[in-house]
Amino acid sequence: MNALEQLKQHTVVVADTGNFLQLAQFTPRDATTNPSLILKAVQQSEYAPLLAETVRARRGQPVDEIVDAVLVRFGCEILQIVPGRVSTEVDARLSFDREATLARARRIMGLYEAAGVPRERVLIKIASTWEGIQAARALEAQGIRCNLTLLFSFCQAVACGEAGVQLISPFVGRIYDWAKKAAGAQWDEAARAGENDPGVQSVSAIYHYYKRFGIRTEVMGASFRNVGQILALAGCDLLTISPELLAALQASDAPVPRRLDPERAARAELAHVSLDEQAFRWALNEDAMATEKLAEGIRAFAADAVRLDRMIEGLRA
């Protein structure tokens, strides 16, 4: 078996892309998207007609409603290829507005249901701010499953677990990026590879904590920079991987042993943590990396949301 097939023996493989025409060759179970990936896809000739068609059908509607229709259209196309779930993201500009996030999430789910897609096949992606986590708590109580994204710190994971969210997406590569930049000339790539990678260590710590305390929230490592990071997390509940790295795994015949094991993790000697809003905000504030990367990620997704808005405005003019 190639490395991708071996990985699937330990972990649910998820494709991280808006380019659904690439999916079939990797046979992932689920797929994730984000504003940047959708923006990238709709600028390609293969997907431009899909965007134009969706805009034309909803020409008189507000831009934000058309945007959600575009996101759901891509999600429906993806669900024709993958057997599992698709993650669709709420506008990042609502990351600090619980009520607006709730309304947008419900509207996205309503569009999926109108298209005949059951709730069980959709995850609503929301940034892991305090407001986003509390919105997800309310949505989960209503049967709308959530994927909490832009997660960089242990305190975010703890709060998500306490909120009972379906799934979290801790970002491996962006943690790695920050640590490498912070270290500067002192960075030793070989010494910080594999299980010593700071992003890998973050996900591993969260995984062990969840399994130790029976937290049902799924852990899905995300944002990978290289195959080594992926292999170091073999055994994680899920891993969402770009098409480029899926292809690299498929082309490799390197052995893929299990690195994370739920039974071993359940025996870990760890202290239980509980966070109210004040404790959460302080813990996040004390983590410079998480604070910076969360803000940076929200800004980047928001900027791409603005670009998508302008593209749609141009098409409906």
The one-letter amino acid code at 278 reads Q
CA distance 277 to 298: 20
DSSP 3-state percent helix, strand, coil across the chain (nearest 5): 60, 10, 30
Split into its structural domains, the chain has a count of 1
Domain ranges, residue 144: 3-316
pLDDT tens per residue across all 317 residues of the chain? 999 999 999 999 999 999 999 999 999 999 999 888 999 999 999 999 999 999 999 989 999 999 999 999 999 999 999 999 999 999 999 999 999 999 999 999 999 999 999 999 999 999 999 999 999 999 999 999 999 999 999 999 999 999 999 999 999 999 999 999 999 999 999 999 999 999 999 999 999 999 999 999 999 999 999 999 999 999 999 999 999 999 999 999 999 999 999 999 999 999 999 999 999 999 999 999 999 999 999 999 999 999 999 999 999 87
The domain spanning residue 33 has which CATH number?
A: 3.20.20.70
Task: Classify 125 in phi/psi space as left (phi over 0), alpha (psi -120 to 50) or beta.
Answer: beta
CA distance 9 to 232: 14
Q: What's the whole-model pTM score?
A: 0.97
Catalytic-residue membership of 293:
no
Of residues 8, 40, 125, 180, which has the active-site annotation? 125
pLDDT digits (tens, 9 = 90+) for 17-51: 999 999 999 999 999 998 889 999 999 999 999 99
